[in-house]
Structure 1
Amino acid sequence: MLYIFDLGNVIVDIDFNRVLGVWSDLGRVPLATLQSRFRMDEAFEQHERGEISDPEFAARICEQLDVALSYEQFTAGWHAVFIDVRPETLALMNQLRADGHRVVILSNTNQLHFEFWPSQFPEVQQAADKLYMSQDIGMRKPEARIYQFVLDNEGFTADQAVFFDDNPPNIEAARALGIESVLVTDSKTVPAWFASHR
């Protein structure tokens, strides 16, 4: 079987309020103000597909938020999104590989984050056979083509795959292709799913 895991809030806990909190402190803008202005718009999607550079993305987000940050300050906040790994999920990924299954990570991410988290959480990269990062392949979830790309690249059909993600539209898109898909709502979802499928 092919097991496809999202990264954020599936393998590693993330929280965007931590990002805004750092920017609030550095930019001296109230957190509530930044929260009201922040949205994942076209620039966000373009960045995740690798269509715009990190500095260009930073400039566009600072403009959206109306906050004056240096690129270094922007980056410091951007990396604050990561909290810690979910050890039970990591243990399951390692066990699946030991049992002869294929385990990959499929993440909507960006170059700036990819320069950061593998060094912070090396055990994540070590628990996967391959990483499929949106900015490297020029597509992002929930585009149907990204799931098909992973299936084709791995040599599996949709009915031979299971997908874990915390975003309902991503789950719906994968299900539409015939991939068994599990909506991850908290750290217990993945261990509970495997416990019920033994």
Structure 2
Amino acid sequence: MLYIFDLGNVIVDIDFNRVLGTWSDFTRVPLATLTQKFAMSDVFHQHERGELSDEAFAAAFSQEMGLPLSYEQFAHGWQAVFVALRPEVIAIMHKLREQGHRVVVLSNTNNLHTTFWPDEYPEVRAAADHMYLSQEMGMRKPEVRIYQKVLDAEGFSAEETVFFDDNADNIAGANQLGITSILVTGKDVIPGYFAKQLC
């Protein structure tokens, strides 16, 4: 079997409120104002596909948010999104590989984040056979072609694949190909799914 894991809020807890809080501290713009303005806009999506440099993204996103941030301040806040590893998921990924399954990560991420989390959480790469990152692939979830690309690269059919993600749109995209897709709504979902399979 092929098991595909998302990164944020699946393997690693993330919280964009931490990003906004850091930017608020730097600029004195009220957190409530930033929360209202924050949206994953076209600029956000372009950055995740690798179509914008980190500097261009920081400038454009700061302008959208009305934030007078230096690039260094923007980047510092952007990295604050990462909270903590989910060790129970890392353990499951290792066990799946020990049983002969293929385990990969498919993440909508961006170059700026990948200058941080691989060093902060080396356990992620150690638990995966391969990392599929949106900014390297030039596409992002929930585009159906990104799931097809992973299936083709790994040599598995949709029927032989299970996908875990915390975003309902991403689940819907994978479902279009017939991939068994599990919406991760909390930390107990993945351990619960494997409670019987990995006995």
Bucket of the pairwise TM-score, normalised by the shorter protein:
over 0.9
Unaligned runs of 5+ in 2: none
Q: Which residue of 1 aligns with 2:90?
A: 90
Q: Does 1:189 align with 2:196?
A: no
The corresponding residue for 2:4 is 4
* Structure-to-structure mapping, 1:51-62, within 5 angstroms: 51-62=51-62
> Where does residue 99 of structure 1 map in the other structure?
99
Pairing of 1:131-142 with structure 2 (within 5 A): 131-142=131-142
Paired residue type of 2:120: Q
Runs of 4+ with >2 A deviation: none
Q: Deviations over 1:68-123 (max 9, x none)?
A: 11100000000000000111111000000111110000000000001100000001
Provide the residue aligned with 1:129 in structure 2.
129
Q: Measure the CA separation in 2 of the matches of 1:130 and 1:11.
A: 14
1:71-82 alignment runs, 5 A limit: 71-82=71-82
1:117 aligns with 2:121: no
Alignment of 1:62-73 (within 5 A): 62-73=62-73
Gaps of 5+ in 1: none
Calculate the TM-score normalised by the size of structure 2: 0.98
Give the whole-Å Cα distance in 2 for the aligned partners of 1:15 and 1:51: 24
Please report how far the alpha carbon of residue 197 of structure 1 lies from its aligned counterpart in structure 2 after TM superposition. Answer: 3.7
Separation of aligned partners in 2, 1:62 and 1:174? 32
Matches of residues 12-23 of structure 1 in structure 2 within 5 Å?
12-23=12-23
Q: Name the structure 1 match of 2:171.
A: 171
CA distance in 2, matches of 1:5, 1:41: 24
CA drift at 1:196: 4.0
> Which residues in structure 2 correspond to 1:142-157 (within 5 Å)?
142-157=142-157
Offset at residue 195 of structure 1 (A): 1.1
* Counterparts of residues 12-51 of structure 1 (less than 5 Å): 12-51=12-51
- The 1-side partners of 2:78 and 2:181 are apart by 29
Q: Shift of residue 173 of structure 1?
A: 1.1
Query: In structure 1, how many angstroms separate the alpha carbons of the residues matched to 2:182 and 2:36?
Result: 31
Shift of 1:172: 1.0
Q: CA deviation at 1:177?
A: 0.4
Q: TM-score, normalised by structure 1?
A: 0.99
Identity %: 62
1:125 & 1:117 partners in 2: Cα distance? 10
